[in-house]
Amino acid sequence: MSELRFEDVSVRYGRHTAVDAVSLTVPPGTVVGLVGESGSGKSTLARATVGLVEPTSGTITLGGAPLPRRGRRPLQMVFQDPYSSLDPRMSIGSSIAEAMPRDETTATRQGRREEVRRLLELVHLGSTSPDARPGKLSGGQRQRVALARALAGRPDVIIADEITSALDVSIQGAVLNLVRELQQELGLSMLFISHNLAVVRYVASRVAVMRAGRIVEEGTTATVLGQPEHPYTRELLDAVPGRNPR
Amino acid sequence: MSAPTSRARAWRGVLTTPLGATAAVLLALVLAVAVLGPVLWTQSADAVDTGNILGAPSGEHWAGTDNLGRDIVARVLVAGRLSILLAFAAIGIAIGVGLLLGSAPFLLGNGRAARLVSAGVNVAVAFPGLLLALFFAVVFGVGATGAVLAIGLAGAPTFARLTQTLVAGLAGREYVAAARVAGVGRLRILVRHVLPNLREPLVVNATIGAGSSLLAFAGLSFLGLGVQSPSYDWGRLLYDGVGSLYVNPAAALAPGLAVLVAGLAFNLFGEAVAKGLGVTELTGPRVRRPATKAAPEPDEQRDHSEGRPSADVVLEVRDLKVSFAGRDGQLRPVRGVSFSVHRGEALGVVGESGSGKSLTALAVTRLLGDDATVEAERLRLLGQDLLAEATPAQRRLLGTSLAMVFQDPMSSFNPTRRIGRQLAEVGTEHQGMTRAEAMARAVDRLDAVRVSDAADRVRQYPHEFSGGMRQRAMIGMGLMGSPSLIVADEPTTALDVTVQQQVLDLLSAIRDADDLALVLISHDVTVVGEVCDRVLVMYAGRIVEDLATADLATAAQHPYTRALVAAVPDMATDVSEPLATIPGRPVGPADTPAGCAYADRCPLADVRCRSEEPPLERTAAGGRVACWHPGGEPDVVLAGPDLRRVER
Ligand SMILES: Nc1ncnc2c1ncn2[C@@H]1O[C@H](COP(=O)(O)OP(=O)(O)OP(=O)(O)O)[C@@H](O)[C@H]1O
Ligand code: SF4
Ligand SMILES: [Mg+2]
């Protein structure tokens, strides 16, 4: 496990600066929550991390070394919408196997099958057939398949972008429980992006608050959400539904 | 619903339409001639009869004979195979090259080389196909090979562009992004995730393309640039026939007719397939015409909500049912819903996805499509019966006293028209305002929903508004009239927290100011709890609990309500404990059980629960609940959620 570090990272689309000189660290074995309103640059930062967009300037390092530009990255990402992030024509087993690095365990068909089983077991889908198509699964089950696929890449860090916001509340809890469990059991590091403060508070030990492309506040969850320094953080906290019931 | 079966259904559907069936029969005939023609008629096609050169049509030779006295009809039938094979070869080349060029930008990673390729393709597409073919024919030399290459390459740009467009669309899908993040190579992604999705559009276009290349071939051979004798295809026969046009016109007409029929067969079949596969995407209630059935005359029952005078009742719904004709019989996603909303009241509706919240709202606002059947004992807005045939007066009532706000404000506005116009339309259509009056009202209403610089903003298009602003404009549109009821279906789900709060505040403010009734649908209990006085909890098309929002956290009676509340983390949730979850999945309209629909997931379920459906009954607290064991053992419901139970 190694540390994910953003130093002065900026991403510009034309003249618009989506991410503005962000410096942030995800220490090994911790879940760092990234909160902020939509359009604040959270998803762009995530996409830059996994190489879906190029940072305009700044560096992203993992364990001190820059991220490899080609080939398999030591980072994996889980997307918001479990209905569009799995190929509907592919069995969940092949989707998971596709993300595995090639080595002794996964060299043979048998090895890959066993690894798929192990991963499905890990996300509590042990009784689901690897041959099932995503169409047959519920949203929560799909999101767990997406997590299994991310784990298949044996990443050092997982980027989770709004992974519960497309889910019904009844299954959102199960996915959050799983995230915590995986973090505790596997010592996983994670950048957990969400606009829902209550959700972030539940899974993350550190929180960074992003606004208009900049990180305006960062610290332990208890401090940031308990004694917010920045007025914007306070504004976010005031906006949490259920804080001011009628 | 899995993809393959629905696709198979769609293909079967193609063959059962009149157009599809005709095209299929025609195509089968043409292909049969291509396969059998040379076997059956080569002998008579090659039989030279010097005594009957350029003979006119007769009983023996239906279309006469050629300059060696050979039978024209036999030659046309034999030429079918070569003509069609050449067309196939050409279309094969077109597809192959097209696929290669079309997917090149994706493989090249959208860099400069990629841009060059796509620019080249765009130029080539704009070039007239036949001209390209002529050019290539000169380059590759006169003959069948040259012609195949020419027509194939001339067709390639069209396929390249088609591929490019489709690939670009698919490349934006998240599962493609996910595969890239997983380190899968671009070629592999193309082969595994992208190309399989191109199958249908390619098949359709190849079929239509085969027809066109058949024509193009006939054209080239006709110009003497295609097949050379002694081989012959339809174009060559046409060429020879035209030479003797004044002696025997049938010699030219017969191959011409063959080209026409074969070309038509391919084209029609392609069109039929395109139509058949396209049609299946058009489902769901879109048509804004209500379909209601007359219900029995309502009896004079007392309104059962809080015993208020019924003059205050804005909306009254009793025993509302919505059903659809499904493939295996009738589906009823809404199974008897009764509630009423009073002036100044905010009513929340919560429940999991598929519980029938939206359908209930759409039935009440009469926005359901023709495929839905709406039945109710009573459905009244401001005392007006909504079940009766829609009169102009009733349409006006619906247009002005009821406003509906949807989840996605982008899809509720027409993207090509200015916001102001769309708002003003409500005024001119339903309230008989002049255009100027309506526009002034639109500005005023946008102002009321706190869109800044409303006077300028009315001239903007929907995409120039942010998500939150669009949603406010949508509410403003509802306020163009003087509505008595606003129905908002997940109005804040697509918005982020800060904007969500503003929209919720706005809805509350409007309700307080104008004494409106508000129905707010959401899957988030906390959102509803913030705005509403009363909540209806829906499960599998029924109301399972109706209670004051103040009681949600502490005094909910139904196990489902309590589980919903416990499943959402809030800012006070104990982070050292796992979150409560609801095991299993909601039941759908196709598998609603006999007893309580929640029984399979309920920790309190017993034998009675599984056999008898609990009725919705009044509670001591003034609410309603449908459960045989209301309020029983909350600890069991909330304690120790075991993840493993979720997946079953
Ligand atoms: N046109 C239709 N034909 C057949 N069934 C339909 C149709 N429209 C909706 N349904 C079914 O009716 C049920 C209720 O749908 P509805 O849209 O009301 O759910 P909902 O509670 O609004 O869910 P969500 O929270 O996902 O918006 C679902 O099972 C759905 O599949
Ligand atoms: S009726 Fe029975 S199964 Fe249904 S919710 Fe009540 S206790 Fe549970
Ligand atoms: Mg809905």
DSSP result, B288-332:
----B---PPPP-PPP-STT--GGGEEEEEEEEEEEEEETTEEEE
Rounded to an integer, what distance in angstroms lies between the CA atom of residue B526 and that of residue B153? 61
Query: In which residue ranges of chain B is pLDDT below 70?
Result: 1-10, 54, 110-111, 129, 172-174, 182-183, 276-311, 389-390, 408-412, 493-498, 633-648
| Contact assignment for B524 to A235 by CB distance below 8 Å | no
Residue-wise burial string across B575-611, b where 16 or more C-beta atoms lie within 10 A, e elsewhere: eeebbbbbbbbbbebeebeebbbbbbbbebbeeebee
Domain B299-382+484-647 CATH assignment equals 3.30.479.30: no
Q: What is the pLDDT of residue B277?
A: 64
Question: Which of these, A95, A224, A198, lies nearest to A147 by C-alpha position?
Answer: A95
- The minimum-distance atom of ligand 1 relative to the CA of B359 is 18
Q: What is the pLDDT of residue B293?
A: 36
Rounded to an integer, what distance in angstroms lies between the CA atom of residue B268 and that of residue B265? 5
Q: List the CATH code of the domain at A1-74+157-246.
A: 3.40.50.300
Give me the sheet containing B485-489, strands edge to edge: B402-405, B485-489, B517-521, B346-350, B534-539, B542-548, B624-625, B617-618
Q: Are strands B313-326 and A75-78 parallel, antiparallel or unpaired?
A: unpaired
Rounded to an integer, what distance in angstroms lies between the CA atom of residue B12 and that of residue B270? 14
| C-alpha B36 chain-centroid distance | 43
CB–CB of B270/B204 below 8 Å?
A: yes
Residue-wise burial string across B459-491, b where 16 or more C-beta atoms lie within 10 A, e elsewhere: ebebeebebbbbbbbbbbbbbbbebbbbbbbbb
Region A91-119: what's the mean pLDDT?
88
According to DSSP, the residues that pair with B96 across neighbouring strands are none
Rounded to an integer, what distance in angstroms lies between the CA atom of residue A98 and that of residue A148? 11
| Contact assignment for B181 to A52 by CB distance below 8 Å | yes
Rounded to an integer, what distance in angstroms lies between the CA atom of residue B336 and that of residue B321? 5
Element (H, E) at B517: strand B517-521
Over residues A160-179, the pLDDT tens digits come to 988 887 677 777 888 898 88
Region A78-106: what's the mean pLDDT?
84
**Tally of helices (H runs) and strands (E runs) in chain A:** 9, 10
According to DSSP, the residues that pair with A161 across neighbouring strands are A193
- Residue ranges of the alpha helices (H) in B308-408? 357-364, 392-401
**Interface-testing mutation among B1, B496, B499, B562, with chain A (most A C-beta atoms within 10 A):** B496
Rounded to an integer, what distance in angstroms lies between the CA atom of residue A36 and that of residue A18? 13
Q: Is the CB of B356 under 6 A from ligand 1?
A: yes
Nearest ligand for residue B613 CA = 2
Q: CB distance from A164 to chain B under 8 Å?
A: no
Q: What is the pLDDT of residue B10?
A: 67
Rounded to an integer, what distance in angstroms lies between the CA atom of residue A60 and that of residue B365? 52
Rounded to an integer, what distance in angstroms lies between the CA atom of residue B542 and that of residue B360? 10
Q: What is the pLDDT of residue B574?
A: 86
According to DSSP, the residues that pair with B539 across neighbouring strands are B542
Region A92-110: what's the mean pLDDT?
87
Select from B173, B497, B573 the Cβ nearest to the Cβ of A239: B497
Residue-wise burial string across A216-246, b where 16 or more C-beta atoms lie within 10 A, e elsewhere: bbbbebeebbeebeeebbeebbebbbbbeee
Question: Which of these, B134, B129, B164, B160, lies nearest to B147 by C-alpha position?
Answer: B134
DSSP state for residue B51 in the 8-state scheme = G
- Residue span(s) of chain A under CATH 3.40.50.300 come to 1-74+157-246
Q: How many residues does chain A have?
A: 246
A chain contacts of residue B496, beta-carbon cutoff 8 Å: 37-38, 195
Band the pLDDT of A242: cuts 50, 70, 90.
low
CB atoms under 10 Å from CB of B633, counted, come to 12
CB atoms under 10 Å from CB of B129, counted, come to 20
* CATH number among 3.40.470.10, 1.10.3720.10, 1.20.1250.20, 3.40.50.450, domain B17-37+81-277: 1.10.3720.10
Rounded to an integer, what distance in angstroms lies between the CA atom of residue B181 and that of residue B188? 13
Rounded to an integer, what distance in angstroms lies between the CA atom of residue B440 and that of residue B434? 10
First to last CA, chain B: 19
Q: Is the CB of B517 under 6 A from ligand 1?
A: no
Q: What is the pLDDT of residue B111?
A: 67
Q: Are strands A189-193 and A157-161 parallel, antiparallel or unpaired?
A: parallel
Reduced to 3 states (helix: H, G, I; strand: E, B; else coil), residue A35 is strand
Question: Which of these, B317, B305, B486, B336, lies nearest to B386 by C-alpha position?
Answer: B317
Rounded to an integer, what distance in angstroms lies between the CA atom of residue B560 and that of residue B544? 8
Rounded to an integer, what distance in angstroms lies between the CA atom of residue A75 and that of residue A49? 8
Retrieve residue B435's tokens. Answer: 């255009």
Region A139-162: what's the mean pLDDT?
86
Retrieve residue B342's tokens. Answer: 């009073």
Of residues A135 and B26, more confidence is placed in B26
CB–CB of B543/B561 below 8 Å?
A: no
| Contact assignment for B352 to A170 by CB distance below 8 Å | yes
DSSP state for residue B600 in the 8-state scheme = G
CB–CB of B418/B459 below 8 Å?
A: yes
Q: What is the pLDDT of residue B390?
A: 67
What are the contacts of B139-146 at 24+ separation with CB within 8 A?
A: B142/B224, B142/B225, B142/B228, B143/B226, B143/B227, B143/B228, B144/B86, B144/B226, B144/B227, B144/B228, B144/B231, B144/B233, B146/B225
Rounded to an integer, what distance in angstroms lies between the CA atom of residue A67 and that of residue A4? 10
A chain contacts of residue B497, beta-carbon cutoff 8 Å: 37, 195-197, 236, 239-241
A chain contacts of residue B511, beta-carbon cutoff 8 Å: none
Question: Which of these, A46, A54, A40, A39, lies nearest to A24 by C-alpha position?
Answer: A46
First to last CA, chain A: 47
The beta strand positions in chain A, using DSSP E, are: 4-13, 16-26, 31-35, 57-62, 65-66, 75-78, 157-161, 189-193, 206-211, 214-220
Angle of helix A169-186 relative to helix B559-567, nearest 10 degrees, comes to 50
Over residues B571-627, the pLDDT tens digits come to 888 888 888 888 877 888 888 888 999 999 999 999 999 999 999 999 888 899 999
DSSP state for residue B601 in the 8-state scheme = G
B594 C-alpha to ligand 2 centroid (Å):
13
Retrieve residue B260's tokens. Answer: 């026409």
Rounded to an integer, what distance in angstroms lies between the CA atom of residue B531 and that of residue B529? 6
Minimum distance, in Å, between the CA of residue A140 and any CA atom of chain B: 9
CB–CB of B117/B108 below 8 Å?
A: yes
| Contact assignment for A99 to B183 by CB distance below 8 Å | yes
Query: Residue A54 carries which side chain, given as an amino acid letter?
Result: E
B355 C-alpha to ligand 1 centroid (Å):
7
Which residue in this structure is represented by tokens 């060059």? B116
**A40: closest chain B residue by CA:** B496
- The minimum-distance atom of ligand 1 relative to the CA of B362 is 18
DSSP state for residue B191 in the 8-state scheme = I
Which residue in this structure is represented by tokens 């291509």? B34
Q: CB distance from A230 to chain B under 8 Å?
A: no
CB atoms under 10 Å from CB of B648, counted, come to 10
**Computed from CA positions of residues B233, B235, B239, B241, in that sequence, does the dihedral angle turn out positive or negative?**
positive
